[in-house]
Structure 1
């Protein structure tokens, strides 16, 4: 079970398959996305897609990133991610 910071976003797994892996890893690696999800200290609901969350985080290497995930069953499914500009 993973808990992101003090924000009460609790989940058991990160869901990957060939569909989201191909799309989500266009600008970040799968490892960077997973690190960002586990390291997240801030997240909020997506304004257009209520089943999605936006993580503001850093990779283990210190890169600031934004990662969008869908909440599914007992986990999260990465949708996309990119390096943050600020």
Structure 2
């Protein structure tokens, strides 16, 4: 019975830790949203900023490849 209690306590600790992390994640998401809103109030476009953040996360090689393919597609559709 002692082992079950120890296992139950361990599970409870994991669940509580996940709950705390979820709260922190929500707080960070709120901070990010507030930052985009602040940038918007200063004249920046949050949609474009999100794209830039996404691009900056990508490895340079992948980004250049994506941009090259995008250029080919735009050219094929006469967008340029």
TM range (shorter): under 0.3
TM-score, with structure 1 as normaliser: 0.24
Structure with more of its chain in strand, by fraction: 1
Structure with more of its chain in helix, by fraction: 2
Structure showing greater relative contact order (alpha-carbon pairs closer than 8 Å, 6 or more residues apart): 1
TM-score, with structure 2 as normaliser: 0.26
Larger Rg: 2
